[in-house]
Chains A and B, each alone.
Chain A
């Protein structure tokens, strides 16, 4: 089954809405609690990333009895060096931003840690696509 949710860049008051909706779906499907937890943590982290860095985005969810596939596609600045971005603690945030407690560089590694499979592609100046896959069986 297919679901879509749009994300508005910069609107933090709505960040997390899509993740909550996806969580509801998984509960209705009687998916294992542990899988729901990991999915929601990964999805929420990714959703907030889009809100924080992109202009707009869409979450596409496809699910069947074998797997959940969540694709977050955004229009934004993109990531110049994905390998670097995937390193724990790497962040492009300025020291000032870090002092405020943001930009610890844990977002993407945390998504990877929770997802069964994660794929990311990005084009600078265009946007980023992140795909999270969770296996249910």
Chain B
């Protein structure tokens, strides 16, 4: 049976670089990685693109795919859709104006902060909560890694997801429409999102609960940061550079939306914000048991410090948060001159249009926990897992190429591994003369690759 591929993945494993160290396998929160032939292998449908593996890889064998930057020049109108965390990547002395100017110099004709989309979204979310308040807790769909995590590990909670577009899509829809209304042709508009994480790329390439995306391409934030910062270091300040004041275009609450508590602090009733994927998993376990079900709203983010901790960010996440909070405070306290009013008024005139397009389709459960589609078979396999677990040592050493003894037992029950992959079993079998040392060496080579057993270094 051909497995259906549910998701597009932005994380790519480069076999030629992988050294089979198993760091990625051990940190994966959905147990999507196995080692075979000395290389990490990904089970596509289990992966939620959280990027834990990317961070853990010591040799850079895992990469985040992106669109070629030169693609922007295929379009006459080249829009950079930037999340505000980009502004938090640079040191204090770099002004927002400078960043914007250099982005223009690189070739973008327009720059638009995706957080402008939160203006319309906030109202829509409150309305949604009023209409669907009985389905407690309602869960934000802001973080695409969390949406997928819920699909594969907590399928029973897919009904709780707030079926509204994230700010990025709203911003893209608005800006495209605005340009068209100003006379641009749709096919001449290229919208490029500067992403802080892999999950957002995957969400653009295969939108959850939606068929198409208004976004034409995705460029990694670290790539843009390096390009912009290098240009600055080389003395380019941008054609439109002016010293002060900084041109803030977002309202304080919009600036903070992508940080932890950015959404929960804006929502009515009892709301909670949880960041970092393992914290999210622990909490969802409780929610699924019906514990603390009187929470109205949950903001869940896969990265520690939310988007400031995205895997494609360059700045330290704590400094980024500090910088963005300072910016928000500055706008609030000093009422600096900024042109957000113009954006606000323009977006306001499109509110009706945006509200019509803000909904997404039902998010379907994609449970990856089941041992078999057929319950009878699943029961047999479950019994098998139990029997195998009685033999395995429960030390979770990972030498079998599966992350835990339990994962190995499940792999065996599903015909993807052998009991002799376990090093403890190998030793036992050797003692009983059921396996000779040559065969057991072959098994280890099969899992970890020939190279690891090459000539001894002295």
Q: Are A16 and B289 in contact (CB under 8 A)?
A: yes
The stretch of A35-43, A49-57, A88-96, A124-132 in contact with B is A35-43
Residues of B within 8 A of A41 (CB): 289-290
How far is the CB of B157 from the nearest CB of chain A, in Å? 9
Q: How far is the CA of A23 from the CA of B372 in the complex (A)?
A: 16
Residues of A within 8 A of B373 (CB): 30
Q: Are B155 and A33 in contact (CB under 8 A)?
A: yes
* Given A1-B379, A33-B156, A37-B156: A28 touches B289 (CB 8 Å cut-off): no
Q: Are A65 and B376 in contact (CB under 8 A)?
A: yes
Cβ-closest chain B residue relative to A63:
B379
- Tell me the count of chain A residues lying within 8 A, CB to CB, of chain B: 23
Q: How far is the CA of A25 from the CA of B373 in the complex (A)?
A: 14
The one of B289, B369, B383 that contacts A27, using a Cβ cutoff of 8 Å: B369
A to B contact number (C-beta, < 8 Å): 60
Q: Are B371 and A29 in contact (CB under 8 A)?
A: yes
Residues of A within 8 A of B375 (CB): 29-31, 65, 136
Residues of B within 8 A of A63 (CB): 379
* Given A25-B382, A29-B379, A33-B365: A20 touches B371 (CB 8 Å cut-off): no
4 new A-B contacts, CB < 8 A, other than A29-B371, A41-B289, A44-B291, are A1-B382, A23-B288, A30-B374, A64-B379
How far is the CB of A25 from the nearest CB of chain B, in Å? 7
In B347-387, the 8 Å CB interface with A consists of: 365, 367, 369-376, 378-379, 382-383, 386
Residues of B within 8 A of A25 (CB): 382
- Tell me the count of chain B residues lying within 8 A, CB to CB, of chain A: 23
Q: How far is the CA of A125 from the CA of B79 in the complex (A)?
A: 74
Cβ-closest chain A residue relative to B376:
A65
Q: Are B291 and A27 in contact (CB under 8 A)?
A: no
Q: How far is the CA of A39 from the CA of B283 in the complex (A)?
A: 19
In A3-61, the 8 Å CB interface with B consists of: 16, 19-20, 23-25, 27-31, 33, 36-37, 40-41, 44-45
How far is the CB of B214 from the nearest CB of chain A, in Å? 32
Would you call B286 an interface residue if the criterion is a C-beta within 8 Å of the partner chain's C-beta atoms? yes
How far is the CB of A27 from the nearest CB of chain B, in Å? 4
Would you call B322 an interface residue if the criterion is a C-beta within 8 Å of the partner chain's C-beta atoms? no
Cβ-closest chain A residue relative to B365:
A33
Cβ-closest chain A residue relative to B286:
A16
Would you call B74 an interface residue if the criterion is a C-beta within 8 Å of the partner chain's C-beta atoms? no
Q: How far is the CA of A51 from the CA of B376 in the complex (A)?
A: 34
Q: How far is the CA of A30 from the CA of B371 in the complex (A)?
A: 7
How far is the CB of B215 from the nearest CB of chain A, in Å? 32
Would you call B285 an interface residue if the criterion is a C-beta within 8 Å of the partner chain's C-beta atoms? yes
Q: How far is the CA of A63 from the CA of B379 in the complex (A)?
A: 9
Q: Are B156 and A45 in contact (CB under 8 A)?
A: no
Q: Are B285 and A30 in contact (CB under 8 A)?
A: no
- Residues 109-128 of chain B, each 1 if its beta carbon lies under 8 Å from chain A, else 0: 00000000000000000000
Residues of A within 8 A of B288 (CB): 23, 37, 40
* Given A36-B156, A37-B156: A28 touches B378 (CB 8 Å cut-off): yes
Q: How far is the CA of A31 from the CA of B367 in the complex (A)?
A: 11
